[in-house]
Structure 1
Amino acid sequence: MKKPIVRLSFLTAITAFLYSCTQNETNDADSKAESQQFKIINVTHHDGKPFSTGASLSSAAGKYVDNPGGGVMMQAFYWDVPAGGTWWNTVSGKVAAWGNAGIGSIWLPPASKAQNGAFSMGYDPTDYFDFGDYNQNGSTETRFGSKTELVSLITNAHTENLKVYADIVINHNSGGQSEANPFTGTNTWTNFTGIASGKFPRTYNDFYKNSYGNNDEGAFGGFPDLCHAAPNVQNWLWLRTDGVGKYYKNTMKFDGWRFDYVKGFAPWVVHDWNANVGGFSVGEYWDANVNTLEWWANNANSSVFDFACYYKMNDAFDGNNLALLNDDMMWKRNPYKAVTFVTNHDTDEIWNKMLAYSYILTHEGYPTIFYRDYEEWLDKAKLNNLIWIHNNKATGTTSILYSDNDEYVARRNGYNGNPGLVVYINNSDVWQERWIQTNWANTQIKDFTGNSSWYPTTQADKWVKIQCPPKGYSVWSINQ
């Protein structure tokens, strides 16, 4: 169930602003001294290098190019998108605008034919090579469209310099035919030798339990659990030149992978896929324990969704305890392997979404924007502004300057001539002001969100007073 998004009325915001202005210059010395009492927490992990999702892209047409802050990913679907084979065309019609806004990649839902045919969201895969061009499982097209439409979408995305990531479901299969299974002594739905594409045929010995063992890390939903120890499975998934991974990459032109339910199999599976196929990869390891996330990412040689960050943001922004943002998260361990997000097709718990987006789009990691947040539920102009800030200002290491229940201030320290930024998040109902130490001496700064009209100049000791609107955020950098 979706939580409502709390919005302040215009009158409340104006009242709070007027109150703030009356308090603007009172007790400045005391306020600065108070701020100086708090120890700066530095996140030290990668020697000041800017986060980047990959090599820069060149574009003679002036389309999206990876900027100093790295890229931003769009999850280009939600659960139960409209059926009828129109989704690939819907997304294709948006990639130009997304690219112009600074989106650098899109994550698509599972693209191949699944058991429920035209009604399936793709997470019950039957034939990895049927992209909507074979009449099986009750339809020719998938829920999202035809293979021709998918190829057109990928081509259009690449024209806009957007990378395209495929959702890969390799823990389980569904939609096989019944066959006698000597390992269970029963019939099981594990015969996939008659799939329409004729590629990746499999039988009971390609699923647990079988001659390789009784089980692996986890089964899901009662579906037949694919056995990655089976040579036939390895060959067809990542070893063969015409197998799933290399066909998706070299023929379909996918640029990377989002691996579904990676708790269901060992991390060596993704590690071997990445070693043999290549491309960007991120795993859905649904766990708030940052030690577990780091363990999986290192052993899989892959990025991982930062569920530790997700749950800390939920507790911080919805629970009025922004000091929780001091806690450990995957992006603090290794920003190159952390994909941050505010919501996705499976979970939507954070109420104060704009505060959460202001956090992930100014901090390290690879931030993801959810389709419905961007296209339907939130203020697109505000999200576009944060995307621009991320791409152009969010560089270098992170220093947390201040945090309490209602306020959080952090500094990105810049890199290679890029000045970085200071982000101020305010979860209270009134305007807040605070003295903070920047990296800039005697320099005029401004709020690049436009939420504050101040143009303060930093002192010789680099201290300056900044402000933040109620239930809002401001992002400060050099006025240039």
Structure 2
Amino acid sequence: MKKFVALFITMFFVVSMAVVAQPASAAKYSELEEGGVIMQAFYWDVPGGGIWWDTIRSKIPEWYEAGISAIWIPPASKGMSGGYSMGYDPYDFFDLGEYNQKGTIETRFGSKQELINMINTAHAYGIKVIADIVINHRAGGDLEWNPFVGDYTWTDFSKVASGKYTANYLDFHPNEVKCCDEGTFGGFPDIAHEKSWDQHWLWASDESYAAYLRSIGVDAWRFDYVKGYGAWVVKDWLNWWGGWAVGEYWDTNVDALLNWAYSSGAKVFDFPLYYKMDEAFDNKNIPALVSALQNGQTVVSRDPFKAVTFVANHDTDIIWNKYLAYAFILTYEGQPVIFYRDYEEWLNKDRLNNLIWIHDHLAGGSTSIVYYDSDEMIFVRNGYGSKPGLITYINLGSSKVGRWVYVPKFAGACIHEYTGNLGGWVDKYVYSSGWVYLEAPAYDPANGQYGYSVWSYCGVG
């Protein structure tokens, strides 16, 4: 069955490559650092059988055409669960699907060569690859006597098939150095990052795990569960290897998130914004979102250059009114991530492509919120560089709405509605005083109605 599926994917990929000519480009390589849109290229329990790297590879041409600048891939190393593992239970960091251990040669996602082929294809399209880095813990070791706990623990990693980064109880907490670090996860052995042996094999040498990922083409890093170890680990990793990076610090304490971001040198997922969007768009409480933005209770409102924004991911998916949430993050400040299943399965792909285009061509500069109530929100992006700025009008109501708003940035200009949600080609002229009457459609995606409009200067693109 796997061979049949792999053959189908290969045929589809060849056809896709024929339809979408490979660009000569490294054009998108700069866009990740400049806030380009990221695709989370997996979800929890993606199909097994070793087809996922090929699946991602087959979609890259279309994602390139949509304007995606980078793909975030799942943890690539062999996990304790072998072919069933999603990679968050790392056993042998240096087995990317090439050694027969834990009941399989390939990982759940495929072979090392299929991984490399996928990365090479992404690079051919100027798309960067973000590796998911799981270094808080290890899993799947053998039992050994551990004098620091007075019992047997699953901390013997002397039998890893790669022969690299063997470990024992001294490489985990508690040990002779200290009892613990910032946190543990799932009862798995907690890696002692302060030990030089562990640093050497994880990042601090040319034979490290980081070096190995670099050697196959990984460009950037997403660090899992960074609450579990010191920010200095990520900082030192980036001092060694550089590259764009983001950490998963799952918390709503903005001060804690930003302290971690500044200490590590990485960006951070904006969990406070995520929960405020749920409150706003699912519970018709836009004032709560606006209050959070105006009072510095989100990462994006405190430091948008540190904020990676999202609507759903492989761990959490609580927002139901996703179109409005995507309209928000793809036109507001911060660096947005699109969830694979939203794009490929659950939402209208054309609508998301339109918002990606708007993000890439219009959404620049600082933000001013010019109107809000329980159902409506209107904000202006003031433009920066090649991106002229925009006006986003979000409507949670079941009826079309319109308002006079003061937008002096666009005074005297022709502005165009760039989503088509108002039923076709719509232009407006802003009075020289800065006032204009704007409209937003009703929100009812079941009937093809999307409760947002986006405006910018006529003739862009």
Q: TM-score, normalised by structure 2?
A: 0.89
Q: Partner amino acid for 2:456?
A: S
Displacement of 1:444 in angstroms is 1.2
Displacement of 1:70 in angstroms is 3.4
Residue 267 of structure 2 is aligned to residue 303 of structure 1? yes
1:105-158: per-residue Cα shift (whole Å, max 9, x none)?
000000010001001101000011100000001100000000000000000001
Unaligned runs of 5+ in 2: 1-22, 444-450
Q: Return the match for 1:219 from 184, 189, 199.
A: 184
Residue 412 of structure 2 is aligned to residue 442 of structure 1? yes
Which stretch of structure 1 is more off in the superposition, 430-439 or 367-376?
430-439
Q: Indicate the SS of the match to 2:203.
A: helix
Q: Partner amino acid for 1:388?
A: W
Residue 452 of structure 2 is aligned to residue 473 of structure 1? yes
Displacement of 1:384 in angstroms is 0.1
Q: Matched residues in 2 for 1:366 and 1:72: separation?
A: 7
Which residue is 1:16 aligned to? none
Q: Return the match for 2:307 from 338, 351, 364.
A: 338
Q: Partner amino acid for 2:317?
A: D
Which residue is 2:339 aligned to? 370
Q: Partner amino acid for 1:232?
A: W
Query: Structure 2 matches for 1:215-364, cutoff 5 A?
Result: 215-249=180-214, 251-326=215-290, 327=292, 328-364=297-333
Unaligned runs of 5+ in 1: 1-58
Q: Partner amino acid for 2:385?
A: N
- Preserved contact between residue 339 and residue 366 of structure 1 (Cα < 8 Å): yes
Q: Matched residues in 1 for 2:326 and 2:47: separation?
A: 26
Displacement of 1:61 in angstroms is 4.9
Q: Matched residues in 2 for 1:100 and 1:351: separation?
A: 27
Which residue is 1:27 aligned to? none
Query: Structure 2 matches for 1:134-213, cutoff 5 A?
Result: 134-213=99-178
- Preserved contact between residue 66 and residue 391 of structure 1 (Cα < 8 Å): no
Which residue is 2:7 aligned to? none
Q: Indicate the SS of the match to 2:39.
A: strand
How many residue pairs get aligned? The number is: 422
Q: Matched residues in 2 for 1:64 and 1:259: separation?
A: 22
Q: Percent identity?
A: 52
Q: Matched residues in 2 for 1:350 and 1:258: separation?
A: 22
Q: CA RMSD in A?
A: 1.6
Displacement of 1:418 in angstroms is 3.4
Which stretch of structure 1 is more off in the superposition, 137-146 or 274-283?
274-283
Displacement of 1:325 in angstroms is 2.3
Which residue is 1:48 aligned to? none
- Preserved contact between residue 26 and residue 126 of structure 2 (Cα < 8 Å): no
Query: Structure 2 matches for 1:51-200, cutoff 5 A?
Result: 60-61=24-25, 64=28, 70-200=35-165
Q: Return the match for 2:385 from 416, 419, 422.
A: 416
Moved over 3 A (4+): 59-70
Q: Matched residues in 2 for 1:338 and 1:279: separation?
A: 16
Q: Matched residues in 1 for 2:319 and 2:192: separation?
A: 36
Higher relative contact order (CA 8 A, sep 6+): 1
Q: Matched residues in 1 for 2:29 and 2:213: separation?
A: 24
1:62-116: per-residue Cα shift (whole Å, max 9, x none)?
9757569731000000000001000000000001110110000000000010001
Q: Matched residues in 1 for 2:364 and 2:334: separation?
A: 11
Which stretch of structure 1 is more off in the superposition, 329-338 or 113-122?
329-338
1:340-388: per-residue Cα shift (whole Å, max 9, x none)?
0000000000010000000000011110000000000000000000000
- Preserved contact between residue 24 and residue 124 of structure 2 (Cα < 8 Å): no
Which residue is 2:348 aligned to? 379
- Preserved contact between residue 232 and residue 263 of structure 2 (Cα < 8 Å): yes
Q: TM-score, normalised by structure 1?
A: 0.86
Q: Matched residues in 2 for 1:261 and 1:66: separation?
A: 27
1:196-239: per-residue Cα shift (whole Å, max 9, x none)?
11111111100001011111111111110111111111111111
- Preserved contact between residue 203 and residue 237 of structure 2 (Cα < 8 Å): yes
Which residue is 2:426 aligned to? 454
Q: Indicate the SS of the match to 1:213.
A: coil
Which residue is 1:45 aligned to? none
Q: Matched residues in 1 for 2:31 and 2:136: separation?
A: 35
Q: Matched residues in 2 for 1:336 and 1:61: separation?
A: 26
Q: Matched residues in 2 for 1:274 and 1:462: separation?
A: 46
